Amino acid sequence: MAALHPSFAGEVDLLAESQVETLLRLLKPPQGARMLDVGCGAGRHAILLHEQGYELTGVDLSPQILRQAQAAWSARHGTRPAPNFVPGDMRWLPVEGPFQSIYFMDMVLGVFPDDESHLQCLRSARALAGPGARLLLEQFNPFYWAHNSRTLHFGPGELLPDADVVRRYKYDPGRGRIDDEIVVMRAGGREALPTQTLRAWTPPELRRLLRMAGWKHVRFHGSRGWEPPEPGRPVDPKDSVFMWVTAEA
């Protein structure tokens, strides 16, 4: 998807800026702290935080997307040292701790078909957490999605410059997953991308998983619609598209 267009890769844009503002209010890293971006993608959050003087490491499975992250940094800062972008699998994070802040943005936690793999990711992150370190997860709120399975149409220029894109999000209560089907329509024909499917835990389920991985003081923060959450705002079953979850080592 990232190869199709930068908007799929996650650009450094106004949304990323406002997410980083909220992330800093929740994680409260000391100035210059070591921060770990798990599944960093094209680096939109890592880049903004590194610019603010934090020491960023970003891990992602895709070397191709990490090259995009590096290029995005170089376009902004030339040869100034970039965040440390490392290829690897988040179940076995291939970096050395300790980190004061660790975060998984944009439903990165949720990609695996089984909870055991997600637990492994949370354990791997916990092993890299320094004393008092904080964790942040951006997740879908399953209650919202249960009521809002929907089809979105993006005209040419909205997601892709030369094509219509139709995305259908559908929550499956039996699997506790949101399926995101994407169809790209160009003059030459129609192409269905592989369906993305993401686990969407209820708060008690996710609290249990986090505790099993050794994380404490789990808190949920609800978004107002599609905006980044306000710290401390309860998750509204009908209105919060996202819930951001914090925990401590």
Ligand X SMILES: C[S@@+](CC[C@H](N)C(=O)[O-])C[C@H]1O[C@@H](n2cnc3c(N)ncnc32)[C@H](O)[C@@H]1O
- Residues in the site for ligand X, rule: CB under 6 A? 10, 39-41, 44, 59-62, 65, 89-90, 105-106, 108, 111
CB of 38 vs ligand X, minimal distance in Å: 7
199-204 long-range contacts (CB < 8 A, ≥24 apart) are: 199/109, 199/110, 199/111, 199/112, 199/115, 199/118, 200/110, 200/139, 200/140, 200/141, 200/142, 200/145, 200/171, 200/176, 201/110, 201/139, 201/142, 201/176, 202/142, 202/143, 202/176, 203/235, 203/243, 203/245
Closer to ligand X at the Cβ: 142 or 190? Answer: 142
CB of 45 vs ligand X, minimal distance in Å: 6
Q: Read off the tokens for 229.
A: 């959450």
Handedness of CA 136, 208, 121, 171 (dihedral sign): negative
Closer to ligand X at the Cβ: 44 or 134? Answer: 44
CB of 130 vs ligand X, minimal distance in Å: 21
Closer to ligand X at the Cβ: 64 or 234? Answer: 64
Closer to ligand X at the Cβ: 79 or 134? Answer: 134
DSSP 225: B
CB of 233 vs ligand X, minimal distance in Å: 21
CB of 189 vs ligand X, minimal distance in Å: 26
Closer to ligand X at the Cβ: 35 or 106? Answer: 106
